[in-house]
């Protein structure tokens, strides 16, 4: 019988992850009882170390991709979005309020501030935020520069002073986006999310009142009116996204366009780092995008949260976050083979690392990587099974000048891959068969999907065994780090200005993850990274349209699927986003798509996507049907 799947939680949290996994029949990792590598999911609020990525085994998953700080720290996000705007223009990259990083860009800020003053338009407001704090700490709003006082690195951002209000209260949206993979870019957004309200009426004449201007729950739950009924908002300071949808329905607005613009924000923000995030097929990451909608229904990106808070403070939290985590586990796509980790070991006594690091010659191999060389592997539950020693490595092709130690590490991985235990493949095939017949109700499969799994057979098991998937090489670097806090609510983002600075700025470092060669489109030149047109979609992995409440938002058509298959062609993606948004922006006379062109685009094969946002997400192709 297959063993249970096992999870590890760093620093004992978050509780909702533990609860959901235990309900699904998982077991919690116990250091005293289990081998170091005897787990399937390691969940941390903070960043993983390099070695943790490098030692990842086929059945293991981590809840962070490496090197995503380029969007999750306020100054890095500002820098990267500015670069994207400079490269691709502001037609699409217009969703972030003008931002300056101080003290570095003080002169630029001063000049903008003065320019706006002399034009004598309506008053302009600014918001100042420390780059490495969260939960609204250290934030203030000002109109006059004499009120700008700071003693740490901050960003000063144009304050969106005309937000959409509900019963006079300001709110923002917490959108949960999951990057299933950066290579190829595969993004899902969850249908549920949070609407976070301020608890005092919005008023520009009281800039110092945090309960009127900041929507952080950590602030508003201590506000004097938190428990009071506040018009349509009601008590407390949170709604579910579903309730917000109801609200939108009651208004006469082009709801589809709003949702699509939010989709765009998520995709365009991720594009800013996607080419330079090292590939890690066994990582999945949940980001919290904070979006403010203004009176004109234009959404603005305020920030992207690394490890969005998962604490369950109220009923709304429970509704949203439990479903979210459950669907996230489904999205991680554990298969029967993942629970067979011990059998694989017993049969072969070797494990194939998920990363094969390409390392400069002069960089020493981290000692931890060598633990698999000739290591005696003992299994906790193997009873009387004797320890096994890795077989000698003989005929493997190695990079020419790699030292012997490195060679053996690579070899052990490749060797193991070639000799996968037959028992696994049989079981995998059996599982496939059962899934295809949608009769996955037996006990064994329940161990994988769990009694609460909301994944249907059509969406699981696309990559039956990630270990077998072709892998990109990884060049190692320092992992940009956050602190050890488990939730965004507790996170103080550590001041690693260098490490976390723009991916495009960061000089290549030894022991650094590969600074990906940027696609040529970054320098504005065409062609070099264009993929050859593939004859049809057959053979390409098409990620499922939805998994539980997660809706696939990227790739969203055949062109973006192709554009992301090898090196991401950002320019093609932009073009497609532009087209899509234009089509949704003209509801009266939605552009009739030329049938021939559409057919050419997909080479006659079907590829569709759902529009994330509306209650019953429509197929994009339906959105464009001529009215």
# residues near ligand ADP by CB under 6 A: 19
Burial 456-469 (b: 16+ CB within 10 A, else e): bbebbbeebbbbbe
How far is the C-alpha of 323 from the C-alpha of 318, rounded, in Å? 8
Q: Is 77 in the site for ligand ADP (CB under 6 A)?
A: no
The 208-227 site mask, x for binding ligand ADP (CB under 6 A), equals ------xxx-----------
Sites for ligand ADP among residues 408-427 (CB under 6 A): none
Give the bridge partners for 475, in sequence order: 358
Out of 79, 135, 261, 515, the residue judged to bind ligand ADP by CB under 6 A: 135
How far is the C-alpha of 99 from the C-alpha of 509, rounded, in Å? 28
Closest distance to ligand ADP from the beta carbon of 355 (Å): 32
How many residues are given for the chain?
Answer: 627
Q: Is 514 in the site for ligand ADP (CB under 6 A)?
A: no
Q: Are 408 and 393 in contact (CB under 8 A)?
A: yes
Q: Is 132 in the site for ligand ADP (CB under 6 A)?
A: no
CA atoms within 13 A on the CB side of 117: 10
Six-digit token string for 53: 């990525």
Closest distance to ligand ADP from the beta carbon of 445 (Å): 41
Radius of gyration of the chain, Cα coordinates, nearest whole angstrom: 25
Q: Is 136 in the site for ligand ADP (CB under 6 A)?
A: yes
Six-digit token string for 505: 């700025």
Distances (CA, A) of 146 to 6, 110, 209: 56, 11, 18
Q: Is 168 in the site for ligand ADP (CB under 6 A)?
A: no
123/433 with CB nearer ligand ADP: 123
Q: Which stretch binds ligand ADP (CB under 6 A): 133-141, 312-320, 462-470, 579-587?
A: 133-141
172/192 with CB nearer ligand ADP: 172
Closest distance to ligand ADP from the beta carbon of 295 (Å): 12
Sites for ligand ADP among residues 95-114 (CB under 6 A): 97
DSSP-based three-state secondary structure for 262: helix
Kindly report the number of other CB atoms within 10 A of residue 494's CB atom.
18
Closest distance to ligand ADP from the beta carbon of 158 (Å): 6
Provide the H-helix boundaries in 340-441. 341-348, 404-418, 422-436
Six-digit token string for 566: 């090898």
Closest distance to ligand ADP from the beta carbon of 305 (Å): 7
DSSP 8-state code for residue 190: E
Closest distance to ligand ADP from the beta carbon of 300 (Å): 7
38/488 with CB nearer ligand ADP: 488
The 169-208 site mask, x for binding ligand ADP (CB under 6 A), equals ---x------------------------------------
216/240 with CB nearer ligand ADP: 216
Closest distance to ligand ADP from the beta carbon of 195 (Å): 11
Sites for ligand ADP among residues 268-307 (CB under 6 A): 290, 292, 302-303
Q: Is 495 in the site for ligand ADP (CB under 6 A)?
A: no
Phi, psi for residue 147 in degrees, rounded to 5: -90, 0
Question: Smallest Cα–Cα separation from 556: which of 624, 454, 463, 615?
Answer: 624
How far is the C-alpha of 322 from the C-alpha of 299, rounded, in Å? 26
How far is the C-alpha of 201 from the C-alpha of 199, rounded, in Å? 7
56/212 with CB nearer ligand ADP: 212
Contact positions toward ligand ADP, by CB under 6 A?
97, 127, 129, 133-136, 139, 157, 159-160, 172, 214-216, 290, 292, 302-303
């Amino acid at each position: 019988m297959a063993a249970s799947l096992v999870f590890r939680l760093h620093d004992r949290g978050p509780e909702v992850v533990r609860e959901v996994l235990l309900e699904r029949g998982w077991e919690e990792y116990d250091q005293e009882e289990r081998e170091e590598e005897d787990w399937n999911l390691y969940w941390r609020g903070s960043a993983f170390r390099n070695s943790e990525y490098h030692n990842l085994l086929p059945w293991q998953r981590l809840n962070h991709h490496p090197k995503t700080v380029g969007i999750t720290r306020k100054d890095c996000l500002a820098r990267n979005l500015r670069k994207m705007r400079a490269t691709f223009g502001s037609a699409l990259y217009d969703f972030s309020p003008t931002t300056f990083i101080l003290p570095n860009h003080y002169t630029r800020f001063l000049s903008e501030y003065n320019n706006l003053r002399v034009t004598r338009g309506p008053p302009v407001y600014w918001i100042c935020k420390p780059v490495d704090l969260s939960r609204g700490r250290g934030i203030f709003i000002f109109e006059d520069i004499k009120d700008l006082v700071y003693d740490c690195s901050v960003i000063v951002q144009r304050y969106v002073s005309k937000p959409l209000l509900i019963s006079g209260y300001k709110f923002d949206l917490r959108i949960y986006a999951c990057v299933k993979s950066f290579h190829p870019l595969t993004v899902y957004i969850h249908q549920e999310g949070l609407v976070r309200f301020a608890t005092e009426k919005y008023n520009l004449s009281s800039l110092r009142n945090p309960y009127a201007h900041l929507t952080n729950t950590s602030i508003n739950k201590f506000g004097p009116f938190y428990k009071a009924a506040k018009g349509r908002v009601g008590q407390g300071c949170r709604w579910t996204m579903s309730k917000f949808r109801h609200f939108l329905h009651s208004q006469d607005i082009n709801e589809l366009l709003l949702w699509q613009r939010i989709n765009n924000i998520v995709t365009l923000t991720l594009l800013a780092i996607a080419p330079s995030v090292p590939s890690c097929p066994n990582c999945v990451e949940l980001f919290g995008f904070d979006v403010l909608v203004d009176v004109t229904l234009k959404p603005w990106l305020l920030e992207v949260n690394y490890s969005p808070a998962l604490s369950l403070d109220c009923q709304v939290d429970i509704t949203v976050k439990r479903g979210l985590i459950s669907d996230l586990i489904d999205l991680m796509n554990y298969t029967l083979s993942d629970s067979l980790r011990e059998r694989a070991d017993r049969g072969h006594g070797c494990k194939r690392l998920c990363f094969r690091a390409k390392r400069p010659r002069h960089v020493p191999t981290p000692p931890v990587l060598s633990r698999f060389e000739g290591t005696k592997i003992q299994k906790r539950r193997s009873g009387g099974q004797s320890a096994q020693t890795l077989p000698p490595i003989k005929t493997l092709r190695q990079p020419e000048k790699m030292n012997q130690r490195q060679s053996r590490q690579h070899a052990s991985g490749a060797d193991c891959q070639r000799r996968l235990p037959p028992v696994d493949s049989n079981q995998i095939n059996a599982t496939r068969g059962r899934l295809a017949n949608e009769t996955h109700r037996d006990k064994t499969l329940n161990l994988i999907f769990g009694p609460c799994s909301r994944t249907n057979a059509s969406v699981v098991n696309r990559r039956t065994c990630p270990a077998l998937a072709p892998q990109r090489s990884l060049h190692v670097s320092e992992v940009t780090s956050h602190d050890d806090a488990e939730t965004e609510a507790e996170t103080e983002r550590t001041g690693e200005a260098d490490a976390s600075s723009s991916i495009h700025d960061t000089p290549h470092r030894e022991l650094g993850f590969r600074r990906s060669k940027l696609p040529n489109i970054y320098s504005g030149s065409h062609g070099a990274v264009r993929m050859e047109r593939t004859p049809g979609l057959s053979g390409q992995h098409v990620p499922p349209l939805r998994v539980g409440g997660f809706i696939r938002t990227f790739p969203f058509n055949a062109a973006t699927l192709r554009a992301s298959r090898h090196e991401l062609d950002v320019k093609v993606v932009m073009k497609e986003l532009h087209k899509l948004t234009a089509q949704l922006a003209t509801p009266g006379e939605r552009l009739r798509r030329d049938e021939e062109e559409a057919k050419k685009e997909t080479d006659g094969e079907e590829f569709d996507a759902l529009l994330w946002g509306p209650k019953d997400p429509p197929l994009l192709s339906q959105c464009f049907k001529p009215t």
